[in-house]
A and B are shown apart, each in its own frame.
Chain A
Amino acid sequence: MTDVYVSGYAVIPPSRARADRGEAVLTAEEYHARALSELLRSLGISKRELDGLSYALGINRTLWPHSLIWSAEVAQNLGITPKLTVVSDHGGMSALSLLFQGYALIKSGVVDHVVLLGVDSPLTPSKPQGGYRLERTWRYELNYELPLGMIGPLSEAALIARRHMYEHGTTPEQLGLVAVSQRKNASKNSWAYLKQPLTMDEYLKSPYLAYPVRMLDAVIPVNGGFALMLSRSDDAKRFTDKPVRIEGVETQVNSEPQNELRDITKLNIPSARLLERAGVGLNGIDFLELYDDFTVVVLMQLEALGFASEGGGRFVEKNSITYDGNLPVNTGGGQLSGGQAGTAGGFSLVVEAIQQLREEAGGRQVKGATRGLVTGLGCLGYNHNLINRGVALLSKP
């Protein structure tokens, strides 16, 4: 069976659609076009040449309402004819889910290439529906959370963070270290949305939205677009001399349904079977790109992956997680500083890993990086944490 490589990528820098600040005001359709255009430029091929390839298209469902039959509309807007399309509804795990589906399609020989377009424009919705939310949310949130006055993911994350403090003695300063370290990484990333330095004092003064979650514990929503080209091993070399190998991807949806009294601070990421199959130990991983919708979720992943048996909070106190630290995490600033482009936010972490492994990360380059682990987490479950969990291992060939 063929190996699968990332043969090209594209980033359309994030925007809050503030025309008054000179920021781009674009729709999701425009992000699709720009991301594909930039991808083709990176591959060195024309649209006509793409038309001649055997490929699939993968897209994420955007936050704002879109048509029932969505992938064909995207293909029509772009004038492309993929052999098949896959659509992810996995929220924060969408990038990892599409990576997994694309990997499987190439491995199985269905197609030679997969184009993934990760796009969302929550700040320029096509037509907001309802008074206060872009999307129709989960029924459990409509029925058992919103009538109580809960405020969506912020309050769901706050329930987890408060329990994490109770279980592990996690302090505000430890959560702050995640935000401050990632901002340092973002300061060296031209496409991060927030690049100005952040101090611990500024973090601690940031207002609570849902105690103990402060504004700076949460992602900043942005518009943005990303594209990836996945290719069979022999084809990847056609497009680049710096292919990045996908060593494997694993995902899992939901866990411990039989245990209503589960520990909501524990994230069962399916990393163990991925690492075992790849024959890679934790010390074989040079950097981590961990899905970071909230600071506490980064700590939970350091625990779940096996890096922080003493608790994620104590780990970030004793270690450095900046790009030049002993365990670099979210080397481009993650979504906390880079911005979260709706359900495409996870693509920023995949793209950052690719830039690191192609040695294109400039001032934030992790020296000697040959392998990175990327996660994608989505869907804050009822009495649970993020129940869509994906993990991928990327490396230099």
Chain B
Amino acid sequence: MESAGATLPEVDGVNKNFFEGLAAGRLLIQRCSTCGSHLFYPKPWCVVCGSLELEWVEAPKEGKLYTYTIINRVIGNSKEFEKELPYAVGSVELDVGVRVYARLLASNPSSIKIGCRVVLEPRRLTDKVGLPYFRVVE
């Protein structure tokens, strides 16, 4: 297992497909079979119509940045992240109508701007767990 250095998610029946999908390079999100709403983060039922019938669909690999932050200090998380400081985390808006928090990769940090295009580049931690990382299109 690659050392995430870090903090692993608690994988369960609701979110398993999300983390496994990312480990395999795909961003899977829930879609309600009844009303068609896309949901994120993974939920136990459709928060729009209350249906229990949710299916997993692959999301587009490209999105745009809704907002972001540059983490300058590690507070309330594993000190292992200090090795990576500073780093960017943002909210990526996908055109299926959801936003996903993700680590942002950019060779030039000044290219991180609200509205910029980002492309999925998941980080694989284990066979079963990947994390949403996106690279800024420069």
Contacts and interface: CB of A to CB of B under 8 A. Distances in A.
Interface of A: 131-133, 139-140, 142-152, 154-155, 158-160, 162-163, 166, 207-213, 257-258, 260-261, 264, 382-383
B38 interface: yes
Contacts of B7: 142, 146-147
B3 interface: no
A383 B101 CA distance: 8
Contacts of A260: 38-40, 97-99
Interface of B: 4, 6-10, 15, 37-41, 47-48, 66-79, 81, 84, 87, 89-91, 93, 97-99, 101-103, 114, 125, 131-132
A149 B85 CA distance: 10
4 A-B pairs closest in CB distance: A158-B69, A163-B67, A211-B70, A143-B9
A389 B40 CA distance: 22
A144 B41 contact: yes
Given A147-B8, A151-B77, A166 B114 contact: yes
B97 A151 contact: no
Nearest to A157: B69
Nearest to A137: B76
B69 A152 contact: no
Contacts, number: 120
A134 to B, nearest CB: 9
Given A151-B71, A209-B73, A383-B91, A143 B10 contact: yes
B75 A152 contact: yes
Most buried by B among A149, A209, A383: A149
18 contacts: A147-B131, A148-B102, A150-B101, A151-B75, A151-B77, A154-B75, A154-B76, A155-B89, A158-B69, A159-B67, A159-B90, A162-B68, A163-B67, A210-B72, A213-B69, A260-B38, A261-B97, A382-B41
Given A146-B9, A209-B73, 6 more contacts: A133-B76, A140-B41, A143-B41, A149-B103, A150-B77, A213-B69
B73 to A, nearest CB: 5
Nearest to A218: B75
B101 A145 contact: yes
Contact of B89 (A139, A148, A209, A213): A148
B67 A148 contact: no
